[in-house]
Structures are given as structure tokens and as C-alpha cells.
Amino acid sequence: MNNEILNSLNAIDTNYPVPRVHDFLSRPENTTFLEYVFKDPFGCHVFPGDICSYPLGAFFDDMDRDIKQAKQIHLWAYIPTCRYRCHFCQYPTITLNPQAISSQAVFRDLVAYNIKEATMWLQNVPCLAHAEVGEFNIFGGTPSLLPEPELRCLMDFYQGHFNFSVATMRFEGEPGTLTKQYLQLLKELGFTKISFGAQAFDDRIISACGRMHSAKQCLDAIFNAREIGFDWVSVDLIYGMLGQSVDDVKYDIEKILELDLSHVVCTKLHMETLLKKRTGVSGERESLWQKKGGLINIRKMNFPGLGKQYQMRELIEKHLSSGYLEHPTTYFHRNHQHPEKWKGLVTDLDKQYPEVAIGLGGSSKCARAEAINITSYRKYKEALDENYQPIEESRGVSPYQREVNAFKMALSTLVPVVDNVFRQRFEGKSFFDNPIIRPTLRTLVDKALVTIDRDVVTLTSNGVTLVEAVINTQFVTSEV
């Protein structure tokens, strides 16, 4: 077993209990899990297709078929503008000064291209215009940089061309730009849910991760949203951040409880070795943390080891357990409020409806196929200018893999997986009969990561904590 990884796991804060998963991850037979969580990209819920070079026409046919059968869909628009790039960001973004005259043309172009892409979707998937949108989300980037005329133009198009009759609308912003005036605009346009990344409530940690807002601006955004009438406010926190201690995470969670937030997302950062290069959809580049003169060298700040990260995770679970439920993994909601609707639409076993993503790097999928948009803004524009759908890759999903993906998505919700519900999805087929799921369940039971009671599979405490490692390392398709 890699000594570097074991040393990271053993680096714990002696003022807090040894993390529950420490014993499991320390065992040689669980090396696969340990290596995964050491390199784990945060929020990595992967349910890939297994048929490469899938024809784009077949992808659209599959989407049309599945959308017709679904009760609702998840629809989202991605606005990739940012006024700066966070040090941990892996996503395709366009960094600009929102006040510059030249930026106004970028905003207009982005909205125009988004609308053109959405129009192509409506042409390629005819039933899309009539499908009930369960939730519509505007994600970023920083959509709250969009000037009012462009935002109104975008919303006029979506509400005029899609079925929003039962849709809830959620908007993701950044505390430095979610001003009271902008929140009032969102309320007027029909948004009822607001989310933003705080990352922490300590200015030292916020600064270390490259954010340019302050803890006070986070609080102002929350209080202003509530004053204007938003009952649903979600904040994203990241643990494992540069210079962060277990005490720091405790402070953040106590602040969440003090604020009585409706929802909070708590995700684990990559380990330091992965941060030396960004390897996500934005392409490889040197991390801002690692550059000469960067924070690691100048401030002598360090990343907490894997052991401390799991102490942080268990502290979050313990402190939030009195008033919050986790559903799906990393997403916490108040007991008396609903969980993330869009996540439930695409992952809950009794739903798992299609989602359509419009914009740079968007990921769209249904049970039978998936597609990922182009991540280069230049190539994205070129495709649309030449009247091509800006999809970089499409994959199909074989019948056995559909069952596996459905089971993995259900596990990620942390809700017990019931075979009777699975049978309703797959024409009477049991997940116990699937040649990939069946042997995997035996392994997971032996490792005490799940329990099985008749036809119900339930994650144990360790299974909940390690669920992303479970779904991304244990379901080996080569057994078919």
C-alpha cells in the first residue's frame, strides 16, 4: 500500500475522534477504496454509458423516447462567465470584467448561443417542448453576472418554448454579485430557489481558495434573499481546503446551524497531489495554488490530510444529524423541507428522469444514452455558427449497464434500494439477477458497506461515507 497515502490517512487531529472509516481504509484488502478517495474529484457521481462512438441521431432518438415516457425532466442552462477563477475550479469558464464594455458583447453572445442551442434541441427532440419541466436551473460559472436585459431575454425564451407549468426555478450565483437588487430581479422573474458557493465562513479560508467575496457578503446574500421572500437558500461548503483545520469546519457547520439554512452542500476537495494540475473539463494547467509565489510557498499553508478530511466529514454528519437529512450524498436538507428536487429527478430510483443541459460543457442523459457538450468556448461557438449541435461526445448505454447505472444512482441517494421498485423500472427484472450487481453486492456485504434484508439494500455508516468510492470502483462491467 502506498506509504504517502497511508501517511495522509493517519494524519489526524488528536482533539477529535479517529474517523470511523479509518480502520476500513487501513486494511490492505481495501486498497482500491483508499486509492480512490485519495484522488477523489469532489462531487464525482459517475454513471457512464458503455457504448462509445454512439451516433448522435440515435442519442436524440433515445432522449425523445425516454422523455415521452418520463413524468418530468430536469432542464438546466449553463452560463460560464466568471469575474475570476477559483483555485479549485475544473469547469469551462470565461473570465471577464463584468463592468468592461467589451464584456457586454460576450454576455449578449452567450445568451444568443444558449438560445440557438436550445432551439436545436427542440428541433432534434420534438417532444421536448411539451415535456413537464420538474425543475429549471441556471448554473455557472457565475450567472449572476448576467445583465438584466440578457437575463430577461434568456428567461423569455425558456418560459416561452418549454413547459414550465409545474416547474420550480433555481438560480446559482456568487455572494459578491447576488446583491439585493439582483435578488429582487430573480424573484420577479419567478425564481424561488437560490444557491451559491460560500466554501467557508472564514475570510482566511475563502481567500486561500481564490474567492473574492467575504464571509459578510455570504451572510448579506442569505439575509437579503430571506427578506425578499426566498425560503429556499442553499450554500455550498468545501472541506479539505488549503489551511483548513477540523476546528474551521466545526465553525462553518455551527454557522449553518445558527443561520438555520434550508439546504447545505458539503463536498470534499481533491487531495494536494491532484491539485498540482487541473484535470477536469477545463483541461490540464498548473494549479494557482502551486505556482511560484503561490499560497503554499508564501503563506506556508498546507492541505489537511485524508484522515483529517474524514474527521471533517464525520463532524459534519454529527452536527447536522439533529436537524438535517442527507439526500443524495453531500446534499443536506432540513428535516421539514424537501431535498434537492433536481437531484431527486435524476437519481431517485422511482424517477431517474432525463436531464437536458444547454450550454458550454453541459451533460445531458437519459437511461439509454448520454452526451457531453464541447468544453472549448471557441469550438462551441464555431459549431453553433455552422449550425451543428455543440456535442463533443455521445455514448449509448447497454441493457445490463442501464440496470447497473440505475442501481448506482439509487445508492448515491443514500436511500435504501428496494428491489420491487427496481422491478417496476425493468419489466420485472430483479437487481439480484444482474450479473454485475449480484457479485458486487456479495462483496459489499462482506466488507460491511451494505446490508441486505430480503429485497432491500441499505448502506451502512461506512457505506454512506464511502458511497462515491463504492459506485465508482466496485461495479466492474467486464464480468458480463
Question: Right CATH number for 56-347 from 3.40.50.300, 3.40.228.10, 3.80.30.20, 3.30.540.10?
Answer: 3.80.30.20
pLDDT band at 404 (very low <50, low <70, confident <90, very high): very high
pTM: 0.94
Q: pLDDT value at position 310?
A: 96
If one compares 459 and 361, the residue with the highest pLDDT of the two is 459
pLDDT in tens, 137-184: 999 999 999 999 999 999 999 999 999 999 999 999 999 999 999 999
pLDDT in tens, 1-47: 588 899 999 999 999 999 999 999 999 999 999 999 988 765 555 68
Which of the residue ranges 134-138, 243-247, 287-291, 354-358 would you say has the lowest mean pLDDT?
Answer: 287-291
- CA atoms within a 13 Å half-sphere pointing along the CA-CB vector of 418: 7
* Average of per-residue pLDDT values in the chain: 92
- φ and ψ of 368, to 5 deg: -95, -15
Here the cell at position 190 is 419567478
Of 94, 332, 339, residue with least CA distance to 235? 332
Radius of gyration, CA atoms only, the chain: 22
Contacts of 191 (CB under 8 A, 6+ apart): 169, 170, 171, 230
Average pLDDT estimate for 91-98: 89
pLDDT in tens, 276-330: 544 344 455 565 655 544 555 545 678 899 999 999 999 999 999 999 999 999 9
Instruction: Indicate the domain borders of the chain.
Output: 3-39, 56-347
pLDDT in tens, 358-387: 999 999 999 999 999 999 999 999 999 999
Here the cell at position 61 is 432518438
Q: pLDDT value at position 133?
A: 98
| Contact criterion met (CB below 8 Å) for 364 and 54 | no
